[in-house]
Amino acid sequence: MGTNAASSADRLKVILSHLPNKPGNIPFDFLGSKKSFEISPAPKGLESAITLLFTEDCLEFLVKLVETFDQKADEVLRQRVLRRCAVESGKMPEFVSRRPNKSKGWKIDSIPRRLVNRKLDLGDISPARTDLLVAALNANVQGIQVDFDDGHCPSWRNQLQGLYNVFLTVRNQLPGTQSLDKVPVMMLRPRAWNMMEHNVMINGREIPGPLLDFGVLIYHNGRIMADLDSGPFFYLSKVESAIEARLWDQIFTWTENRLGLKFGTIKSCVLIENILATFEMESILYELRHHCIGLNCGIWDYSASIISLFGRRSEFVISDRVRYVNIDQLFLISYIKLLIKVCHKRGALATGGMAALVLDGDASNNQENIIKRVCESKLKEIRLGLDGFMVHDLGLVEHINKLWNEHCLADNQLKVKLPVFKKNAADLLKVPVGQVSLSALEHNIAVATLFIEAWLRQSGTFTFRGAVEDSATAEISRSQVWQWIFHRVPLEDVEGTRISRQLVFDLVDSFAHHLSVSFNQEEKDRLLIAVKIFKELVTAREPPIFITTYLNNHSCFLNACRQSSQ
């Protein structure tokens, strides 16, 4: 046995001697203890970034953060499964109050000076896209959604580049930008709980993506942001319940104690993107009352969550989203009005989603039409009482600023008296009944397929037919196609034709064929992989809850990331 042990040790030495000498290639004994921290090597060109970010003291903070909250994060995901099972068994959501009785009349803590005006944010700004981040930092807006979630592809290269760019920005070291107190507020958006980080393991487990993002961001930047009265401020994605809000509040409080920040320094804006969260909005605010400035709504993820939970029931078949999914529909305007009522009652800000339309830069008549459409849509939101919203295209900023100046000169609409609104569970679940055209089906197929293709080349967004598309639009697109196949929904403009697996397969194959005519072989191969994954998604017996989780764990994506890192 001694001989075998010796030979094993010799073989290990030979293996290790052939490994490249890169940071993180070999797990190391963390600070001389039995706690292990293993990190993937830096992609080429980011060696200095990984060394700068993952310092020994930062690693110690990350390990303690994960050890403290890892099991609680697992419990959050278990609770999601239990709630989903209850819904699938026929239980309909009800309004829930998880606040103690003595809490009547409570308000959130005072909003920091730089967050009182939230009229316009730039959305889907991936920090890995350095040029876009620099342009956003120089824009005439109140804030920037520095997005590690919907508008970002979390390859290891993108994560490191994004974290590094924020590190530089906070220290006024990112070329072409000013000091932090002179640029729009950075609202940092870590990944949601459904995303794991494959490139970092602590004590033998991959860690939740949001803990890595939040941990590195707050450790390196929190104190500087606080000293400059510019943070640290966060967007919290895909929160589904007050239990999850409580977890984030615990994380914030623990972090403030650990880093010596004043209690309540960390502030957040919670995205209400799930139908179940709508029934707990007030409780979500209550749990985060010391660390929250308000709630945000976004219609695409929200609508997709309804399909995900109720999609097998015929009364929840959501029709053509381009024509029927908008704030004129009962289920969405009820959701937005309820969010505004809850927020304003508790002294919090209510903000809306992002205008995805972009100016193409070469057709002035078309640009005028886009500006008109965006302004008309956003004026509806202003009149509803929202305190702000987002756009993606910087070319729209001056027009939205003008719109606000014409209709609301105050910093927000907290003091605006709004019509009485009574919440109604049935209204929140009354999805639009309409029809589905062939073009609507083709549009959803194109958006979902192209999003997958974008991820395979490590991009979180792409522009298609005059709009920026991200994981939210991909989510509703693939969800609708799956639902329409499941219910064999008829096409309104093709007599006698119902949507089926074969029809969808034929359409996506045809789309890919025509699109790839001018592609090189590498591009064609990538598109064919995207088509294959799309087919998996829309025909799965149990479709994944989140498209990003599915893609993040897919071998094709992981292989593409490995190849690009070499």
Give the catalytic positions in this structure. Answer: 189, 470
DSSP for residue 31: G
Distance CA(352)–CA(336), nearest Å, equals: 8
Report the SS3 class of residue 280. coil
**Measured between alpha carbons, how far apart are the two ends of the chain, in Å?**
39
Strands (E), 76-162: 120-125, 143-147
Distance CA(268)–CA(289), nearest Å, equals: 10
Distance CA(50)–CA(61), nearest Å, equals: 16
Residue in the block written with tokens 């099991």: 71
Which amino acid would we find at residue 55? T
Distance CA(23)–CA(248), nearest Å, equals: 31
Token representation of residue 193: 């709980």
Preceding omega of 232 cis (within 30 degrees of 0): yes
What single string gives the DSSP state of each residue in 418-467? -------HHHHT------B-HHHHHHHHHHHHHHHHHHHTT-S-EEETTE
Beta strand 292-297 with 267-272 is parallel
Token representation of residue 27: 């797990």
CB contact at 8 A, 193 and 238: yes
Strands (E), 326-415: 349-355, 388-391
DSSP for residue 494: S
CB contact at 8 A, 116 and 108: no
Token representation of residue 427: 């209204």
